[in-house]
Amino acid sequence: MAKKLLGQLKLQIPAGAANPSPPVGPALGQRGINIMEFCKAFNAKTQEMEKGMPIPVVIEYYQDKSFTFTTKTPPASFYLKRAAKLQKGGQTPGRAVAGTVTMSQCREIAEAKLADLNTDNADQGAKIIAGSARAMGLQVTE
């Protein structure tokens, strides 16, 4: 008989830095998920990635207190800030330009995130990433 799925939980955790402190511990604990088991499994899965890179994770938890999780690629904003060499996006998007990115950088980001985008075409993915860049107050140049 299959396990009964109770729900799913979405978190964004820095790569290789999952620990039982907030926000991870309380979010998992109140759902009955073994916190240390998750932290060890997550850190093992993300140890090859750059330390501190924000990794979205979807945790599905079951009635028998077991869980499974899938990791996604880091958010587009993380890659865009890195490409524009910024600490954070613009304060007034659409009015002030916080930085610039090129379409070739958008294409590279789209290729890295293609599994999580809602397209299979890298050119369309680059347009999605360019839209995210404009929403962050970045200027997209050719």
Q: Say which CATH number the domain at 123 has.
A: 1.10.10.250
Q: How does DSSP assign 7-30, residue by residue?
A: EEEEEEEETT---SSTTHHHHHHT
The DSSP 8-state label assigned to residue 65 in this structure reads S
The domain of 116 spans 76-141
Shared domain for 80 and 130, answered yes or no, is: yes
pTM of the model: 0.79
pLDDT for res 1? 53
Q: Tell me the residue type at 5.
A: L
Residue 58 has a pLDDT of 92
The CA radius of gyration of the chain, in Å to the nearest whole number, is: 18
84 shares a domain with 61: no
Return the axis-axis angle of helices 122-135 and 103-113, rounded to nearest 10°. 110
Q: Please report, in tens digits, the pLDDT of each residue of the chain (142 residues total).
A: 568 888 888 989 888 888 888 888 888 888 888 888 888 898 888 888 888 889 999 999 888 888 889 988 888 888 888 888 888 777 777 777 778 888 888 888 888 888 888 888 888 888 888 888 888 888 888 8
